[in-house]
Chain A
Amino acid sequence: MISRIAFRFWMIVLLLVLPAVGVIAQIPLVEYEQALYSIPVFNPDFILSTIELGMTQGDFPAEPLLRLIDRLASHPAPSFEKEAILIVLAHALGDGFPIEGLINKASEGLARGVPLQQIEQGLLVRWSLLVLTREELLWSKGIFSAPAGLPQKMPTAIPMLRFNQLLIHISETIGDFLEGGGSPFEGHVLYQEVHKRLTMLQGVTLLPEDVELVLNRIEPSDLTQVALAAVS
């Protein structure tokens, strides 16, 4: 019991501290600007403006993004293909989505030697899954993200960083399921997968009440709908 209380205390401290760490650990915009010049991109202003916007997000992955741009710069593909990947990230960032999963996918694709156009296609599906999952949570299930720092007045208004974590894990599970050859119509299997991933992380990086809220409200048919919309 005591350890559970201690754990919850540290989780809350961690989630409160994360945004501050994000600000402290930020990389100056000029670093990104220089990295973009070495690609070079045709439209650096759009990308830079969304990065600047993203920097205000508590979970902005500053270092992984810079590392990815550097990796793209040294890639032999034509620069418009590299820019296409960054444009997807910039759109997602501009819409306030957490992009750590997208950066991870792109980095994995580069490491595996996957052609950039194929990486871009993969990112587009993942991005649309983020959009569709957020819509599903918000409009159908009434679960939404509350601005950071405000006290939580409704149980379904989850502080942004916690909400983003749920969003990442639900949408990625659907993405992994589809990529592994799963059919959107296998809603029950998909639900099991989401259930498994969230419960494995329950009390690890996700708060138990957030996991319970999502698992109680979401149904296999909701996931089928999201998966279907993503592939169509």
Chain B
Amino acid sequence: MPRERRLKDNQIIQILCRSDDAVAIYTGEEILIEVANPAMQAAWGRDASVIGLTLSEALPEIEDQPFLGMLQEVWRTGIDNVGTAIPAELLVDGKLQHYYFDYAYRAVKDENGQVYAIFHTARDVTEKVNDREELKVAREREELLEREQALNEELAAANEELFATNEDLSAAQERLRILNQELEDRVDERTAELSRSESRLRYLLSDAPVAIAVLRGRELIVESANKMVLNAWGKTDEIIGKTLPEAIPELDGQEFLGILDAVYTEGEPFYGSEVKALLRQNGRLEEVYFNFVYQPIKDEAGKTNGIMITASIVTEQVFGRNQVQHLNEELIAINEELNESQDLLMSTNLDLKASEMRLDKIISELPVPVVVLMGPDQIIATTNEALLKYWDRTKEEVTGKTMLQVFPELKSQPYPDLWKRVLAGEGSVASIEIPVTYKDKLEGTERSFYIDYHCQALTDLGGNNVGVISTILDVTEKVRSRKQIEKAEAQLRLAIESSELGTWYIDVITREFKPSRRLKQIFGFYEEEDMLYDATTNQILDEYRQLVTEAVDHAILNGTSYDMEYPIKGFRDGAIRWVRATGKLYGEDANGHASFSGTVQNITQRKLEEQRKDDFLSIASHELKTPITTLKGALQLLNRYKDNLSSAIVPRLIEQANGSVEKITNLIDDLLNTTRTNEGQLHLNLSTFIVSKLLDDCCQHVRIGGKHDLIVQGDLQLEVEADEARIDQVVVNLVNNATKYAPDSRKIYLLIEDLGHLARVSVRDSGPGIPEEKIPHLFDRYYRADYGGAQYSGLGLGLYISAEIIKRHNGEIGVESKPGEGSTFWFTVPKKVG
């Protein structure tokens, strides 16, 4: 419940008027000041006397300022007017000063919306604004300072550049100065040279054996004249500087001045030949003949400004010719006489000509190339169509020329010499199938020919050799094809020889049998012996003979060929050889002969190899079956004992199984080694080791077996660089052989020897020894000493592989053995590789 207020309205007004903010209330269009509190008064710089005055009365200085208008606007429109930091100029302390005000003119309305008062509040924000202004100014100043600084720095940089450029400039200037100096020096030099050459020229000109004069200008001022020209003109050098007409008055009336003027005008040189001039020489007017040139001298613009005269006196020649003319006339008279005698000759000539023409005709129609060469130079006098075709030339190209002119390539060939000799009278030449080489007319490539050539001397009436006549027959084709056939035949012969084929030939009708030398050889005949056809069948081994003869008959009957392999027995030596024979029936050839012919090839080696390989394979499979049998047996027995694995027999069986697998592996390795050595793939792992140690460690299976003692002797320290595993293989092989083939030899000796740069190891037993005939084959592939009976187990590869290994080491392997005296197998290897 609001209490009763104690203050009266005017007290309230008083209190409110004490606000620090300026407050004023106006009424009416004239803006009467109803209230203005002390703050407002202070702001205006007035006192309370302004209350009751209009604003313009109270503050006349605001007349030009917008406040009045704004207040009146508010009164009229009723719209408040509020502003911040509005500048105003007020008279304070007698001075017009700048102020800023935040102000509000608020329209006070009654219930009807009518404005009845304006409430004006204002705050003096001059200081604030000023501060703000100052701040803005200060900031701007700062910015300016910064920019100035930046500009300064740029300036400094630019200055440096400028300085640098300046330096460059002065350097360049210096260079320029130097260049200038050089240029001037050069110019000086050039000028000096020029004057030197000028004086040289002048000197030359003056003494030249040709008359030379230089005239300047249209007036033809004599600028220079050399001795010759002065002589010719009959003048001295006092004419220099005068015009030509002045210098040589007698020229007046002669053409020369006119010509000179024309040359000057046209700018074109004039050449005169044997022109007569009348010149005063030695007081007399003489006739002088000149060959001369008037050459216009032009300036840089191309305009003629002078003429150079060069002339030579030809007076004597002209006179001389006149004389000749005289003589000529005499000659003509003599000629007439001659002509008469010539007519006489002519008739004699005609007869000759006729016969010559006949000869020509005959020659030209010959289908054989013929050429007549006259004289020691072999001038081509007569040719015919056939010859021109052979030479690939036309008649015009060759007639009248020498042979060597047309065919210089013949120079290095025997023909020029041949012609000379025939011409010299050494007799005619006839050669068959001699070579000649011409160069192709257009391309210059060489064309070779073979020719039959006949050349004989041509004599005149007096019996003298005046030329040669040759006929040429082109036999190139014939010779070429013959040579081709010869070549083919030689190739065939070579092929047959290199294949070592024997060949044979039977004429079907005459039954003539022709065996080649090789065929006889294969059948075991001596070369000079006769071999009859029957031999070819008789010598076939019995079991094959029928087969072969049947096949041959079949081939003959049906005209087919046969191709068979069969063994034959040598005629002389009885040796069995295997041959492959082919034969075919050939029908009638060009001579009407039908023939049966074929080839025979000695395939014994191959057959033996095949047989050995077959045997080897069967032995190999047999050998493999032995350890496989053991393996299978052991495993099957193990199967029986599988519920009783602790039985004593089980370890033994397992051992057997393993041992068998080992054996199988080794056998297969041997087989592989054989193939590998064939292909040259045997790779050596080199190391340096002591030989005696290897021998001590190897062949444990033999030592354990207890049947043999291995005794190592010799150089026990010897070291060698080789593939240790492979050498071990070789030693094991040799020792195994000893145990196999000399089972009763208790002691087996292993001897090590130092042979300088080779090391030698030998394995010696005291067994039965090896027969001499078997020794060469011991190291052959698939070979076993008792081959036919197939009695010894093992593949027979051991020695072959050992030999290959030793060979790979660049060593040697061999055996010394006599039946009953035991065997020593030895091998050597280089102590160091390479």
Are A and B physically bound partners?
no
Which B residues form the contact surface with A (CB < 8 A)?
A: none
